[in-house]
Amino acid sequence: MAISESEFVPYAVTPRLPPGPVLVLAPHPDDEVIGCGGAILQHVRRGDDVTVVLATDGTAAQPHADDAHRAEYTVLRLAESRAAAEILGYSRLHCWEAPDRGLSAWAELDDRIRCVFDEVRPATVYAPSAYELHPDHHALAEALCRLAACLEDSVSFMFFEVGAPAPINLLLDITHDVERKRRALRCFGSQLALHDYVRHMEGLNVYRTYTLPQSVSAAEGYLSVTAAELAADPLRRFGRSRLTDQLHLTGHREARSV
């Protein structure tokens, strides 16, 4: 039997995001805008409480002469996220200041996630996809897989894209929100001096309209799963984890060397 394309990617946008409190887990300042800025705007417009957590200090984007300069850069990146938050319309923003590019080794990660879940009691959690290439993005997704079994089954996870297209099962029409999302990302002057992230973001959002009507000019893609689904079979949801892939490759090399 022939497999339809719609089994791999939606051919329609979601009619409505889940209601209730929202928690956004962003690895770095600006990921909250690139990955799910359109969804944040729609939740805020509906009146849902939105809390955004920036997991790392974002300092690995540039070299630093000393600790004082690194601290100043952390403050700058947080200020950029606060400016973006004003445009998106939410007010609850926290920064854990974990080491940038060191999130997978940060001993506090799981406990911090548990604490913020207890505080926010989210109905929906936004987090980076496990298919993301950056190690901090992947680390957050894996942490949620570890904790899923401890969470209420009613919690929905929306895994978003930042640096790479990923397997998705939900498309969100952000046609009427794309200009504010663009304005929010332009708050990150420190990052736009390094790369044209506005162009990258717009390219991804346009790409996600490929299967949609011409009336949709921009869309965000998500993998939407419940806590129960994630806990039951996380590797099936994301394919093999990076760790599993590494073990497989290592074993393959060892087998060939025998």
Q: Which domains does the chain have, with CATH numbers?
A: 17-257 (3.40.50.10320)
Burial of 201 from C-beta contacts in 10 A (0-12 / 13-18 / 19+): buried
Dump pLDDT digits (tens) for 177-219: 999 999 999 999 999 999 999 999 999 999 999 999 999 999 9
| Residue 128 pLDDT > 90 | yes
What pLDDT is attached to residue 254?
34
What pLDDT is attached to residue 136?
97
Dump pLDDT digits (tens) for 27-60: 999 999 999 999 999 999 999 999 999 999 999 9
| Residue 249 pLDDT > 60 | no
Among 200, 194, 186, smallest CA distance to 81 is for 186
Q: Global pTM?
A: 0.90
Dump pLDDT digits (tens) for 76-116: 999 999 999 999 999 999 999 999 999 999 999 999 999 99
CA distance 225 to 227: 7
Strand order across the 219-226 sheet = 92-98, 50-56, 22-26, 124-128, 156-160, 219-226, 170-173
| Residue 255 pLDDT > 70 | no
